[in-house]
Amino acid sequence: MEKEALMSANLPTEVKAYFEGKNARDPERALSGFTTDAVVGDESQKHRGHAEIAAWMAETSAKYDEFSEPLESRHDGEKLVVVARVSGNFPGSPADLIYRFEFSGHRIARLEIGS
């Protein structure tokens, strides 16, 4: 638990809000750090804008009942790369996934999720 608290402290506020909101099934909180026209890429699909992203969050939460625990983060040029352990109702759980955040100012403009 101490490592999780330490890791969360190192993440930008917008990224912390995303993980905390997604885990709590609170799309408003999860999206609070995103631009209104943000794009999320996951499972070969793109979701644009708050409404589509919120629908994707609800769908994946219902389907996988997942929980994400950030493990480490680093900068890769303009991107923030976060490795998170994701557990839930899917084959291979838990799995470490890579979250690539791109920002516009201090807001998340793009998020790509993959392995």
Which domains are assigned to the chain? 2-114 (3.10.450.50)
Q: Give the model confidence (pLDDT) of 73-91 as tens digits.
A: 999 999 999 999 999 999 9
Query: At residue 4, does pLDDT exceed 70?
Result: no
**CB neighbours (10 Å) of residue 93?**
14
Q: How far is CA 82 from the centre of its chain?
A: 9
Q: Before 27, cis peptide (omega within 30)?
A: no
Q: Which residues contact 62 (CB under 8 A, 6 or more apart)?
A: none
Banded model confidence at residue 1, pLDDT cuts 50, 70, 90? very low
Banded model confidence at residue 108, pLDDT cuts 50, 70, 90? very high
Rounded to two decimals, the pTM is 0.90
pLDDT score, position 10: 85
